[in-house]
């Protein structure tokens, strides 16, 4: 999973990136500190992996990962070259979702690029820049295929879809609002990699005190949640400053520190859960002496396609999947015991994978 982090300057974007990835990107109290997009890869915390690794005496554990791409702070007019221009937007066209960091705290010592704190205004500023960037992509495609389509030499439907998307974007509506007519139309729109067509997660950056009730008493967060509900986006409250403080702690120290503050989960844990829910993801597991590993797939993925995540040969030569739920496996203490109890199932090509499945794929090529 790959997330692109966007936001206005000085909203806590790079601070949050640093704390999530411990990558050490420079963070300072002035715009455009992040000159190049920073990339960090984070392991998805999954307690099941260690338990399975202990059971199998695995040599190594490989968790699922999230890749973060931190983009320099955008400002009004970025798509027209203001600030650092739209050169950074290309870096997030390949992401699965956009993580939009929104400032929801007051602090006279932290400069706001527009002079005041207003999360909805900030969200709309970024949204319009993404719309303008998408319009540029659409216009280029229209010019490319327009004449041929009108002459009957190419797909007329694609041309009509591009015109519909342009009308939508020119009206200030994101591409995510476009309703494709069929699977082919949906595939074409997806191939355009439009920024406003991607799922959005709003990270409401609050003060430490506001985390006690998950930002419920913060009027800025309330406004963001209302906006997100209308647009089908997701929201989670996080304190970038606090995340930065706990990022240097060991896991047991981190848990103790959060408990003392009355906070149940870290920002990273909330982000991962929010991402998985929004994108409809789950993890299946493989375990053995050499490696215990988590594999991220879409909900509804069938066994052969899931096998293809490991290697294309597994999908091409798929025969069957031996599947056991990780809880049953751990409770019984061994694969052989689970099999003896009839808890290891032989599943075929139509089996839909479930979260927590421990799988052994059989294949022949």
Buried b (16+ CB within 10 A) or exposed e, 291-323: ebbbbbbeeebbbbbbbbbeeeebbeebebbeb
Average pLDDT, the chain: 87
Q: Using the predicted structure, report yes or no on whether residue 108 has a pLDDT greater than 60.
A: yes
> Cα(7)–Cα(363) distance, rounded to whole angstroms?
46
Residue 167 is encoded by which pair of tokens?
């009308």
> Cα(315)–Cα(312) distance, rounded to whole angstroms?
5
Sheet holding 291-298: strands in order across? 60-62, 291-298, 281-287, 357-363, 318-325, 345-347
Q: What is the pLDDT of residue 172?
A: 92
Q: What is the pLDDT of residue 154?
A: 65
Q: Using the predicted structure, report yes or no on whether residue 76 has a pLDDT greater than 70.
A: no
CA nearest to 244, candidates 208, 209, 204: 208
Local structure of 64: helix, strand or coil: coil
Which run of H or E residues covers position 278?
A: helix 267-279
Q: What is the pLDDT of residue 23?
A: 56
Residue 168: partners with Cβ closer than 8 Å, 6 or more residues away? 174, 175, 177, 178
Place of tokens 């799988």: 359
Q: Using the predicted structure, report yes or no on whether residue 203 has a pLDDT greater than 70.
A: yes
Q: Using the predicted structure, report yes or no on whether residue 183 has a pLDDT greater than 70.
A: yes
Give percent above pLDDT 90 in the chain.
57
> Cα(203)–Cα(106) distance, rounded to whole angstroms?
16
Whole-structure pTM value: 0.85
């Amino acid at each position: 999973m790959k997330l692109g982090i966007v936001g206005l300057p000085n909203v806590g974007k790079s601070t949050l990136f640093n704390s999530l990835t411990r990558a050490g990107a420079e963070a300072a109290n002035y715009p455009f500190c992040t000159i190049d997009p920073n990339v960090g890869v984070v392991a998805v915390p999954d307690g099941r992996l260690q338990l399975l690794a202990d059971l199998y005496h695995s040599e190594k554990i490989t968790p699922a990962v999230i890749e973060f791409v931190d983009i320099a702070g955008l400002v009004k007019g970025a798509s027209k070259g203001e600030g650092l221009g739209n050169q950074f937007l290309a870096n997030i066209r390949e992401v699965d979702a956009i993580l939009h960091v929104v400032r929801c705290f007051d602090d006279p010592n932290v400069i706001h690029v527009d002079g005041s704190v207003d999360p909805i205004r900030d969200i709309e500023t970024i949204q319009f820049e993404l719309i303008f960037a998408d319009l540029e992509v659409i216009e280029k495609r229209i010019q490319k295929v327009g004449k041929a389509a009108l002459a009957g030499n190419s797909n007329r439907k694609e041309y009509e879809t591009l015109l519909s998307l342009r009308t939508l974007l020119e009206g200030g509506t994101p591409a995510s609002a476009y309703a494709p007519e069929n699977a082919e139309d949906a595939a074409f729109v997806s191939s355009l990699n439009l920024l406003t067509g991607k799922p959005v997660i709003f990270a409401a950056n609050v003060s430490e005190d506001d985390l006690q009730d998950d930002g419920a008493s913060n009027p800025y967060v309330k406004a963001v949640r209302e906006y997100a509900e209308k647009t089908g986006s997701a929201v989670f409250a996080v304190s970038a400053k606090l995340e930065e403080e706990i990022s240097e702690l060991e896991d047991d120290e981190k848990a103790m520190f959060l408990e003392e503050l009355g906070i149940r989960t870290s920002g990273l844990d909330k982000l991962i859960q929010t991402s998985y829910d929004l994108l409809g993801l789950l993890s299946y597991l493989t375990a053995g002496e050499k490696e215990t590993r988590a594999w991220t797939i879409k909900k509804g993925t069938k066994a052969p396609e899931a096998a293809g995540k490991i290697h294309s040969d597994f999908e091409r030569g798929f025969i069957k999947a031996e599947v056991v739920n990780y809880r049953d496996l751990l409770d019984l203490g061994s694969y052989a015991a689970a099999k003896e109890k009839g808890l290891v199932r032989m599943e075929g090509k139509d089996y839909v994978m479930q979260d927590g499945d421990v799988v052994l794929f059989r294949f022949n090529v």
